[in-house]
A and B are shown apart, each in its own frame.
Chain A
Amino acid sequence: MLNTTLIILAIFIIAFAGFAIYDLATAKRRKEVYRVKSSLTAYLMLLPAIVLAFLFIMLPILYSLGYAFTDYYLLKPNDINFIWFDNFKAFFSELATKGTLYHAIKNTIVFVVGVVPLQIGTALLLSLFVNRPGIGSKIFKVCFFAPVVISLSVTSFLWLQILAPGENGLLNSLLGIFGVAPHDWLRDPNTAMPCIIVLSAWQGCGYQMLIFLSGLSNIRKELYEAASLDGANGWRKFWLVTWPGLRSTFVYIIITVFIGACRILTQPMLMTGYQDHTVTLSYYMYQQGYTFRWVGQSSAVALIMTIFIGAITLIQRRVFREKK
Chain B
Amino acid sequence: MDKNLVKDLPNFRPNKKPAKNTVKAIIYHVVGIVLSLIFLFPIIYMLATSTKSESAYASSLGSLNMFLPDFANLGTMFANYESVLVNYDIWKYALNSFIYAAIVIVLNVLINGLAGYVMAKLRFPGKRLLSFLIIFLIVVPVETSIIPLYSIVKIMLGLKQEMSVLGVILPATISIFNVFLFTQFFEGIPKEYEEAARIDGANTMGVFAKVIMPLSKPIIATVAVFCFIGVWNDYLWPSMILPSANDGSWPLLPIQTALMSIQSIEGITTGEIMASLIITSIPIFIIYVAAQKYIVQGFGTAGLKM
Residues of B within 8 A of A23 (CB): 125-128
CB contacts (< 8 Å) of B298 on chain A: these are 214
- Is B165 an interface position by the 8 A CB rule? no
Given A39-B124, A49-B114, A56-B170, does the pair A129, B139 have CB atoms closer than 8 Å?
A: no
Chain A: minimal CB distance from B67 (Å):
10
Q: Which of B10, B40, B129 contacts A134 (CB 8 A)?
A: B10
Q: Type the 1/0 row for A26-62, where 1 means its CB is closer than 8 Å to any CB of B.
A: 0100001111001101110110111011011101110
In the complex, which residues of chain A have a beta carbon less than 8 angstroms from the beta carbon of B40? 143, 146
In the complex, whether A252 has a CB less than 8 A from a CB of chain B is yes
Q: Among the listed stretches B77-85, B90-98, B142-150, B242-250, which one makes contact with chain A, having 4 or more residues with CB under 8 Å of it?
A: B142-150
Give the interface segment out of A85-93, A271-279, A301-309: A301-309
Contact between B152 and A251, CB atoms less than 8 A apart: no
Docked Cα-Cα span, A206 to B146, in Å, equals: 28
Which chain A residues (194-218) contact chain B, with CB distance < 8 Å? 202, 206, 210-211, 213-215, 217-218
Minimal beta-carbon separation of A227 from chain B (angstroms): 21
Interface membership of A242, Cβ < 8 A: no
Contact between chains at A21 and B125 (CB < 8 Å): yes
**B63 cross-chain contacts in A, Cβ below 8 A:** 170, 173
In the complex, A149→B292 CA distance in Å?
A: 13
List B35-61 residues whose CB lies under 8 Å from chain A.
35-36, 38-43, 45-46, 61
Q: Which residues of B contact A144 (CB under 8 A)?
A: 35-36, 39
A180 at the interface (CB under 8 A from B): no
* B35–A146 CB distance below 8 A: no
Chain B residues with CB under 8 Å of A60's CB are 144-146, 148-149, 152
The yes or no answer to A228 lying at the interface (CB within 8 A) is no
Given contacts A53-B176, A214-B298, A317-B306, contact A136 B125 (CB under 8 A): no
Q: Are A56 and B285 in contact (CB under 8 A)?
A: no
Q: Which of B62, B146, B179 contacts A170 (CB 8 A)?
A: B62
CB-CB under 8 A for A64 and B125, given A135-B8, A168-B62, A255-B306: no
Q: Is the CB of A143 within 8 A of B36?
A: yes
The verdict on B191 contacting chain A, using a C-beta distance below 8 Å, is: no
Which residues of the partner chain A approach B86 to less than 8 Å between Cβ atoms?
Answer: none
CB of A19 closer than 8 Å to a CB of B: yes
Report whether A155 and B147 are in contact in the complex, using a CB–CB cutoff of 8 Å: no
Interface residues on A, range: 35 or more
Closest CB of chain A to B3's CB: distance in Å?
13
B229 / chain A contacts, CB cutoff of 8 Å: 149
Cα separation A61 to B32 with both chains bound (whole Å): 44
Q: Does B151 reach chain A (CB closer than 8 Å)?
A: yes
**Contact status of A210 and B299, CB under 8 A, knowing A49-B111, A146-B40, A317-B139:** yes
A218 to B42, CA, bound (A): 33
Q: Which of A158-176 contact B (CB under 8 A)?
A: 158, 161, 164, 168-170, 173
Q: 1/0 per residue B168-187: CB within 8 Å of A?
A: 00110110100100000000
Tell me the bound Cα distance from A223 to B143 in angstroms.
Answer: 43
Q: Which residues of A contact B112 (CB under 8 A)?
A: 49
By beta carbon, the residue of chain A nearest B259 is: A151
Q: Are A42 and B122 in contact (CB under 8 A)?
A: yes
B144 near A39 (CB under 8 angstroms)?
no
Instruction: Name A23's closest neighbour in chain B (CB-CB).
Output: B125
Q: Write the nearest CB–CB distance from A21 to chain B, whole angstroms.
A: 7
A52, B174: Cβ atoms under 8 Å?
Answer: yes
B267 to chain A, nearest CB (A): 19
Asked whether B289 lies within 8 Å of A142 as measured between CB atoms, the reply is yes
Q: Known: A52-B174, A251-B306. Contact between A59 and B148, CB under 8 A?
A: yes
Decide: A136 near B129, CB < 8 A? Known: A144-B39, A170-B62: no
Instruction: Establish whether residues B233 and A151, one from each chain, have CB atoms under 8 Å apart when the complex forms.
Output: yes
Kindly report which residue of chain A lies nearest to residue B157, judged by CB atoms. A55
| In contact, B122 and A302 (Cβ under 8 angstroms) | no
Which of A49, A64, A313 is within 8 Å of B115, CB to CB?
A49
A57 partner, pick from B144, B208, B296, beta carbons under 8 A: B144
| In contact, A49 and B179 (Cβ under 8 angstroms) | yes
Partner of B124, one of A43, A146, A215, A310: A43
- Determine if B62 and A161 form an interchain contact, defined as CB atoms under 8 angstroms apart: yes
Are B304 and A248 in contact, with the CB atoms below 8 A?
A: yes
Q: A5-B156, A64-B148 are in contact. Are A57 and B300 (CB under 8 A)?
A: no
Q: Is A229 an interface residue (CB 8 A)?
A: no
Q: Is the CB of A151 within 8 A of B125?
A: no
Q: Does A1 contact B (CB under 8 A)?
A: yes
Chain A residues proximal to chain B, CB less than 8 Å: 1-2, 5, 15-17, 19-21, 23-24, 27, 32-35, 38-39, 41-43, 45-46, 48-50, 52-53, 55-57, 59-61, 63-65, 67, 126, 129-130, 134-137, 139-147, 149-151, 154-155, 158, 161, 164, 168-170, 173, 202, 206, 210-211, 213-215, 217-218, 248-249, 251-252, 255, 259, 262-263, 282, 285, 289, 295, 299, 302, 305-306, 309-310, 313-314, 317, 321
7 contacts between A and B (CB under 8 A): A19-B129, A38-B123, A42-B124, A63-B152, A64-B143, A146-B39, A164-B62
